[in-house]
Amino acid sequence: MIPEPCSHPNDELMPYSDDDTEEEPDTGVTPDPTRSNGESRDTVRRDYSWQVKANDQYFHQQPQFKSPMLLGFKRSKYKGNAIRTYKYNPITFLPLNLLEQFKRAANFYFLVLLILQSIPQISTLSWYTTLVPLLLVLGVTAVKDLVDDIARHRMDNEVNNRRCEVIREGRFKSTKWKDIRVGDILRLRKNTFVPADVLLLSSSEPNSLCYVETAELDGETNLKFKMALEVTHRYLQEEGAMANFDGLVECEEPNNRLDKFAGTLLWRNSRYSLDAQKILLRGCRIRNTEFCHGLVIFAGADTKIMRNSGKSRFKRTKIDSLMNYMVYTIFLLLILLSAGLAIGHTYWEQQVGNWSWYLYDGQGFSPAYRGFLSFWGYIIILNTMVPISLYVSVEVIRFVQSYFINWDLQMYYPEKDTAAKARTTTLNEQLGQIHYIFCDKTGTLTQNIMTFKKCCINGHRYGDSRDGAGQLQSHPQEVDFSWNLYADGKFSFYDHYLIEQIRGGKDPEIHKFFLLLATCHTVMVDTSDGQLQYQAASPDEGALVTAARNFGYVFLSRTQHSITLSEMGTERTYDVLALLDFNSERKRMSVIVRESGGNIRLYCKGADTVIYERLHPSNPKREATQEALDVFASETLRTLCLCYRDIDPQEFEAWNGRFLEASVASTRRDEALDQVYEEIEQNLILLGATAIEDKLQDGVAETIARLSKADIKIWVLTGDKKETAENIGFSCELLTHETIICYGEDTSALLQTRLANQQNPTGTSSHPSLGMKDPSIQGTRDRALIITGSWLNEILLEKKKRKKRKRLKLKVPRVEEEKSQRAEPSKEQQQQSFVELACECRAVICCRVTPKQKAMVVELVKKYKRAVTLAIGDGANDVNMIKTAHIGVGISGQEGMQAVMASDYSLAQFRYLQRLLLVHGRWSYLRMCKFLSYFFYKNFAFTLVHVWFSFFNGFSAQTAYEDWFITLYNVLYSSLPVLLVGLLEQDVSDKLSLRYPRLYVVGQRDLLFNYKTFFLSLLHGALTSLVIFFIPYGAYLKSMGQDGEAPSDYQSFAITAASALIFVVNFQMGLDTSYWTFVNAFSVFGSIALYFGITFDFHSAGIHVLFPSGFQFTGTAPNALRQPYLWLTMVLAITICLVPIVAQRFLAMTLWPSESNRVLQHHGVDAHQWRPHPTAFHRGIPSRRSAYAFSHQRGYGDLISSGRSLRRKRAPLDPGIPTLGMLDP
């Protein structure tokens, strides 16, 4: 069954796919539109399960609000406000950490091994050979975990110990955030963060407005307003009134919907409707409001920002998983070897042992039982095949690599004194294996700063670098705005010709153009230290008003019915007759003003697609403006059309009557207003267009280009509008003019055809309109997918899932149930087809998506592509995505620290991502792979010597080396060289790593460490162990020393084999090292010297006298190592082991050079350098023009036209008769 959407989703709407809030919350009341501020009294009580009583902590301790726990205890369902991200406390650290560590198979294995070694009948090896390495592993890991948890404790304490004012004992007292409880009354000051989700009761602003910055929630830095109920605004202003407030709030349970809230306030025998407009969410910051009061509704983990954080996931790398499987393989190999050798010992006992009287040990064990004991003895002896020091070495390497990232000055951002930080020490090598990057837009790719760059007025383009005469300048000179007392010093402009035109005052169209920018907006103005401060509903609108201000048309102030400007130094006031606010469907806004001469004029600005439909037929500058719009769009600027219309007084009076009638409509008021707006916004005269730059962060385009060459695909997931997201895609060169773009409707059709092809392989289709050729935009790799959240839900059947789940609760016939069950697999098929289609594209942009949808997209790619993913963002709306991806990166930008706190790595700028991946990630992967390959090799070479020795000792589990050599081999004798390779190895420099991004591909393809390399290391180690054993064995078989004594005793043989092994494995590490430093050389030769130094000490007579049972090789090393014959034997063994490796490396570099070898051979040749994509003029690209982002929601128009934002005397509660200036939204 192929799902077909019944109707096209609305691209402008933000859909919801949240698991815990699948259906729209029912507010339970119908607001009375005649009441101001959306307030209504409702006598019908709704059943809400969440109840909050103000100033009454005992209320929340009632039995009905408690949930059962273990052992019959109960706890309140109302969470405290303390945030806890740490894992341990002083009491639980030791038991929980040990429990966590012994969950690792290797650690638990060595604990069992230690117990076995304490049994004399089994073990031929001393217990300390396992205890010392095990304690070292557990201790290093515990210290690392302790350091990480202390950092989490500090961060939690920093947040929990912030202070705010809370009503305590009838007065506001300073209280820590962690002590805030549900039902508390708070006083929040200007520029402070909101500590919990609170109901706004009153504020210092008119009508208890409160302006908040929601950057940590939705990534937008523009201000939003909240407004209290009028009844609480009127009666809850003083401290005493707050202390006596006893209202009861009944609302929905805690959920993760940031812009949804439904509830009621019961106070003084009346019930008032509550919505999201009256709620201040945790993480918001109070702006432009001296103080406000609020009632805590949700605290701590129940707040919406914490609900959006998603579950913390335990992340592990691909190499970790592969390493575990390899350890299991070694376990299996160990058991098979031990079983084989135990069988050999049983056979030997039957054939030889029972008949050799000199081998009798006084215990009459049967051969089978002796074989059983031998099995466990070999399990102990061969335990070094499972290297216990592997884990501690890996932890040390990752820990130091993390500090290399922290110390990298090339990822330090001096403007904010912010360095890169690795917040985890377990994922470094995964940075070298990324396939997909999921990126937020606002604040991550962009600076979220809008700048007025160019404009077109009356068909003439302005904004290029020109002098006062209109001639282009080769060296741009910034315009001097010192003539304008109100100029903003941060504004930069380079077209002197436009300034001359403005100051000349000869072109009336230019006057109208900037007059429109100064009047047609919903910007709020404030004065701070004698300077004008603008607060806009969107950064675009603020940029336009700021531009008009610098060009001499300064917005000074406004009242409910007027707006005051300074026009080239002359102050003028215009009567505002109506304000036609923006919404996402209209894509425009208008203002109707009366000039001093009585003339009534409508000024309008909006997207070119809607403005051009409403222009008067006789617009002579229409084509010239269209050409300018295309030029601006080709430069990836956000465009906006400006127009006006003169209105007859009689026409306005007639229209105003219809406007007033629509404003007080009891039902479908918004639709009625839009229809009335449409009537007056006709036959417009085009003035021109503006072009605004949404400034990218430095180096974004270069970073994306380099990452693309590294075969990393970048998906942009943003809550912004489709046009805005698409425009940024062109700005950062994720999209080009040659890119074929598929939108939601195209994608839906493609998926339907794909499913039809899969279900009808013979070519017959139930969809005659769709050809059976898979139209997956074949023939080109330069294609992109742009899809909105609504289409995403439609395509992935998220909505249908909910409806189906809802229907299944009803009693339906069995046939319907079976159909539903058969339809369910198509959801999996649909999702998989979508992922395959999207992954075929060079770039994917998902816009208007919720935080939950961002995480869902990441999860789908992880599920169906099994690729390594990285998510990068800077706001709380990115936290879920960051936690879902294999690696999360937080940008410590303008949007707070929520993303950083949830991330694995934090950066100050997006451009540092290329160095994090292409340099640190690739190096970490290379180092870890070399480390693991060599580590397995040296342990196989060391351990398998015991196996060959078994054939000559009756399979009696006798060790081939001294006990102390076995204990210290992995700890001292061979650990430092391989550890330094894991820390310092480089195949090419950091500059070459960035210049040649294709070097990154080896990590994506898992070429350096896989089962093939593992078995090659096993084979290499086995061959080395054969040489290490049989060369000394053959040399000692029939030999005589210089003194006439035979040196072929067991202890001399053990020293010879051990010495040869130390030389071979350390020299082998030298051959594997590409990046030599003094430290590497010292580690190789120092390890050899350390071995001989410790060996001579342990074989001295003095230590034997002190510890006779622990040191039994007395005098062996001094006696054996003075024989030249022994040294020649070691030289022969070393040569046979290393010469073939040298020959193989030489042939490989000559005949089959790797990518890094080719780079090193030709690094003198200039590589392709990134250059900005030429911004040549292209016609016919209106679809990629940004439709100007006013805001995701309505602006401040309702506040201005109603007068609720203006300071005046508070009036008593009286609905009154609405007028033009007192209209309710």
Catalytic residues: 440
d(CA 708, CA 923): 19
Paired residues of 589 in beta bridges: 605
Sign, CA dihedral 8-728-1176-1187, equals: positive
Helices (H) and strands (E) in the chain, counts: 40, 35
Stated as kind and residue range, the H or E segment containing 814 is: helix 814-839
- First-to-last alpha carbon distance for the chain, in angstroms, is 45
Pairing type for strands 524-528 and 460-462 reads unpaired
Number of CB atoms found within 10 A of residue 303's CB: 26
For the CA atoms of 747, 749, 751, 757, the dihedral, rounded to the nearest 10 degrees, stands at -150
On whether the CB atoms of residues 602 and 591 are closer than 8 A, the answer is yes
Specify the length of the chain in residues. 1225
Long-range Cβ contact pairs of 108-113 (< 8 A, separation 24 or more): 109/331, 109/383, 109/386, 110/134, 110/137, 110/383, 110/386, 110/388, 113/379, 113/380, 113/383
d(CA 1128, CA 239): 95
Q: Which two tokens stand for residue 764?
A: 């017959």
According to DSSP, residue 413 is labeled: B
d(CA 1049, CA 1052): 5
Query: Nearest Cα to 492, choosing from 542, 543, 553?
Result: 543
d(CA 737, CA 586): 28
On whether the CB atoms of residues 1187 and 607 are closer than 8 A, the answer is yes
d(CA 960, CA 412): 53
Q: Which two tokens stand for residue 897?
A: 């620290």
- Three-state SS letters, 446-514: EEEEEEEEEEEECCEEECCCECCCCCECCCCCCCCCCCCCCCCCCCCCCEHHHHHHHHHCCCHHHHHHH
d(CA 881, CA 877): 8
User: Strand order in 163-168's β-sheet?
Assistant: 171-176, 163-168, 185-189, 291-298, 197-203, 279-280
Q: Which residue carries 């109506």 as its tokens? A: 578
On whether the CB atoms of residues 952 and 1030 are closer than 8 A, the answer is no
Query: Nearest Cα to 999, choosing from 1010, 1009, 1014, 988?
Result: 988
Residue 44, classified by CB atoms within 10 Å of its CB into exposed (0-12), middle (13-18) or buried (19+), is exposed
Q: Which residue carries 């691209």 as its tokens? A: 11
d(CA 647, CA 649): 6
Paired residues of 594 in beta bridges: 575, 600
Q: Enumerate residues 6+ apart whose C-beta is below 8 A from 1117.
A: 1055, 1092, 1095, 1096, 1098, 1099
DSSP string, 568-619: TTEEEEEEEEEEE---TTT-EEEEEEE-TTS-EEEEEEE-HHHHGGGB-S--
On whether the CB atoms of residues 194 and 285 are closer than 8 A, the answer is yes
Q: Which two tokens stand for residue 224?
A: 């939003």
